[in-house]
Amino acid sequence: MYQTTIKKPVSLVGIGLHRGNPVNLTLEPLEANSGIVFVRRDVGVSIPLIPQNVVDTKMATVIGKDGFSISTIEHLLSAVYAYGIDNLRIVVDSDEVPVMDGSSASFCMLLDEAGTLEQDIPKRIMVIKKDIEIRDGDKYVKLSPSKDLRYDFTIKFSHPVIEHQAYVLEFTKENYKKEVARARTFGFLHEVQYLRSKGLALGGSLENAIVLDEKKVLNPEGLRFTDEFVRHKILDAIGDMSLIGMNFIGNYEALAGSHHLNHMLTLELLKDPANYEIVDIVGVKEKEYAKAYA
């Protein structure tokens, strides 16, 4: 198996969640061993996708460099990871990735349009070798060794529509597209009102998020899945963990995980090379580790 990029540039236009302004997004092919690189075309700044460039994780995963940042990258990255794309230039003309419908479905369609191109350098994956866990009270995120790749997420909210939800994704590209990609981000009406008072969430609407009042879902079409909330948390986690820099083999587990805890987990993983092994996927190993990029 070899590294991949996309066959051709593709573009879309969408609304930024926080500014509420149109954002032009273009995906461009990139040479082997380049990784994922974000570009702010409006200010001429390139930001490589590495954990050290994460500058904020309060409401979304935000990367930055030289005083410039790009917000809400996790939904796009989730799709890029699921498609096994190793090398990609992501160009925007604003400080956020467009939110689209609040899921990663639009980005999956964009990647389908772009197509995948094999390059001439072997693909590399990370094999998790030790348990790594980050805790914050009862909340935690964890990686553990496994021959498979699984995302196991549990959430608890004191809201009658959500309450306790748990979901396990046995990772393949097709499972991702079928079970996770369409799950939308969600928020509570009182939070949206507060954020707008601070000049944030100006692009948020029932078109790009599930919004709940104290008792019910306000979106007239309802939910796409009865457990759409926890499925979206898995979508987010896949995007956040892509900052490792490659696909990996291991189990991810979370109870009330967050962008912040996921970021701490990537840093903890990468700080000690004994936590992992990086493997070139060639020959017999291609079948052994296929689930990392299925």
- Which CATH number is 155's domain given? 3.30.1700.10
The tens digit of pLDDT for each residue in 58-74 reads 889 999 999 999 999 99
Angle at 20 between CA 51 and CA 9, to 5 degrees: 60
Report whether 53 contacts 63 (CB < 8 A): yes
- Give how far the C-alpha of residue 231 lies from the chain's centroid of Cα atoms, to the nearest Å: 12
Coil, strand or helix at 274: helix
| Average pLDDT over the chain, rounded to an integer | 93
Per-residue pLDDT, 18: 77
Tell me which DSSP letter residue 52 carries.
G
Q: How many CA atoms lie within 13 A of 194 on its CB side?
A: 5
Q: What are phi and psi of 49, to 5 degrees?
A: -85, 90
Phi-psi region of 161 (alpha: psi -120 to 50; beta: other; left: phi over 0): alpha
Which tens digits make up the pLDDT trace of 162-185? 999 999 999 999 999 999 999 999
* Cα 42 to Cα 205: distance, rounded to the nearest angstrom: 26
d(CA 157, CA 145): 29
Q: At residue 284, does pLDDT exceed 60?
A: no
pTM of the entire structure? 0.94
Residue 123, pLDDT above cutoff 90: yes
Domain count, the chain: 1
Read off the pLDDT of residues 95-120 as tens digits, 9 standing for 90 and up.
Answer: 999 999 999 999 999 999 999 999 99
User: Would you state the structure tokens that stand for residue 232, as one six-digit string?
Assistant: 């979206």
- Residue 146 CA to residue 152 CA, distance in Å, equals 13
**Which residue numbers are catalytic?**
259
Q: How far apart are CA 179 and CA 2, in angstroms?
A: 27
Check whether 201 has a pLDDT greater than 80: no
Q: What range defines the domain where residue 219 resides?
A: 2-292
